[in-house]
């Protein structure tokens, strides 16, 4: 169970506790538990800041706000040191409704659990570097508290090293997703023997929208909204910011630090072909090929990542079937593996 799921269940559990207090709190006491839904609402806001804007976080935040509003008078009574004589019928009815809604949402959270894979059991190691800085001045690993995270770089490696050297895959996810959405897919690639580098960047010199929408918690939602409502506008934004994608690839290449004789393949999805071509032209002796996941057949969530596995609520919203088996991620990884194998065989035959 991910940290996000645990945080969501915490919010819903607090609302459930605060809404059901009329069943077990003595009416001769101060109603101190009236603040519990408010605590849940505050945590739900922090969840959005930490995990980003999404359908599930918006629903839970709105529900916690609703529960807080209906407990506002009780909070005022508590602050005024008023002893509770009885719970009003209206509050009891609303509390019962909130209890039912809380239980329903808890079941929904479990019903829409994302797929998960134990990387260590797959023979894959993961390293995550949290960085501060920008493309112009470079990045440094964050070792102090209260520093803004401007980049998060993931490295997936097979625990069995290849004696002939690494085959490196550099992946920049589309802005409609992030590395977390592709995590199982990238783990599968590493299991197949590749050294995988991927990253999310939120730098001052890598803006896409504006200061607010480019913040980590908002950008994916802004891109999803644009992509689903106005695909032409989405393409315009990508074309206008091709240099940002180029810098992201260059940063990941620097992190991968390929040695002589090692092969590098660039990977992305959704209108990053021009950026990959530019990086390839600048590193012709190093990069052996590029691949766009958008062109894979039997990929129902093209441009969004394997959301059937890792964002089942969004998949459900778009009419796609949730998949806890990880099939879509495995399918994408197999297609990429076949492509790289064909490229390597072609080079050997030259």
Distances (CA, A) of 257 to 170, 194, 254, 262, 264: 11, 14, 5, 10, 10
d(CA 112, CA 22): 30
Strand partners, 140: 132
Query: Is 16 in contact with 106 (CB distance < 8 Å)?
Result: yes
Q: For 176, phi and psi rounded to 5 degrees?
A: -80, -5
Give the three-state DSSP class for 196.
strand
Q: What is the pLDDT of residue 98?
A: 93
Tokens describing residue 326: 């990880």
Q: What is the pLDDT of residue 88?
A: 76
Closest CA to 173 of 153, 157, 158, 149: 153
Q: Which element (helix H / strand E) includes 182? A: none
d(CA 202, CA 219): 9
pLDDT tens for 186-218 read 999 999 999 999 999 999 999 999 889 999 999
d(CA 78, CA 30): 6
Domain boundaries, the chain: 3-111, 124-349
Q: What is the pLDDT of residue 25?
A: 65
Residue 46 has pLDDT above 60, yes or no: yes
Q: What is the pLDDT of residue 26?
A: 59
Tokens describing residue 151: 């980049």
Residue 28 has pLDDT above 70, yes or no: no
- Model confidence band, residue 261 (pLDDT cutoffs 50, 70, 90): confident
Q: What is the pLDDT of residue 314?
A: 95
- In this structure, is the dihedral angle defined by the CA atoms of residues 49, 55, 58 and 61, taken in order, positive or negative? negative
CATH class for domain 124-349? alpha beta
């Amino acid at each position: 169970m991910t940290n996000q799921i645990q945080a969501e269940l915490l919010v819903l559990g607090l609302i459930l506790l605060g809404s059901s207090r009329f069943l077990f709190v003595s009416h001769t006491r101060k109603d101190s538990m009236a603040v519990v839904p408010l605590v849940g609402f505050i945590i739900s806001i922090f969840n959005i800041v930490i995990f980003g804007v999404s359908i599930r976080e918006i629903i839970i935040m709105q529900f916690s706000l609703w529960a807080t509003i209906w407990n506002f008078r009780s909070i005022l009574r508590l602050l005024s040191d008023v002893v509770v004589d009885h719970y009003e019928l209206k509050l009891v009815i609303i509390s019962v409704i909130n209890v039912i809604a809380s239980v329903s949402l808890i079941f929904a959270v479990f019903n829409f659990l994302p797929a998960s894979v134990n990387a260590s059991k797959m023979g894959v190691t993961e390293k995550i570097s949290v960085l501060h800085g920008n493309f112009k001045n470079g990045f440094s690993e964050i070792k102090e508290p209260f520093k803004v995270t401007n980049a998060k770089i993931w490295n997936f490696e097979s625990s069995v090293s290849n004696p002939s050297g690494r085959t490196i895959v550099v992946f920049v996810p589309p802005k409609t997703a992030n590395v977390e959405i592709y995590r199982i897919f990238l783990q599968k690639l590493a299991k197949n023997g590749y050294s995988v580098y991927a990253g999310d960047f939120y730098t001052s010199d890598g803006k896409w929208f504006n200061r607010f929408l480019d913040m980590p918690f908002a950008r994916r939602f802004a891109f999803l909204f644009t992509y689903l409502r106005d695909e032409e506008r989405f393409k315009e934004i990508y074309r206008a910011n091709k240099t940002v994608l180029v810098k992201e690839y260059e940063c990941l290449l620097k992190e991968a630090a390929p040695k002589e004789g090692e092969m590098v393949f660039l990977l992305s999805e959704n209108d990053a072909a021009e950026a990959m071509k530019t990086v390839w032209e600048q590193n012709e002796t190093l990069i052996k090929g590029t691949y766009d996941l958008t062109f894979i057949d039997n990929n129902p969530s093209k441009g969004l990542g394997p959301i059937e596995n890792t964002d089942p609520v969004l998949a459900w919203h778009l009419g796609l079937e949730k998949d806890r088996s990880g099939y879509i991620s495995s399918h994408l990884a197999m297609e990429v593996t076949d492509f790289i194998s064909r490229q390597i065989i072609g080079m050997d035959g030259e």
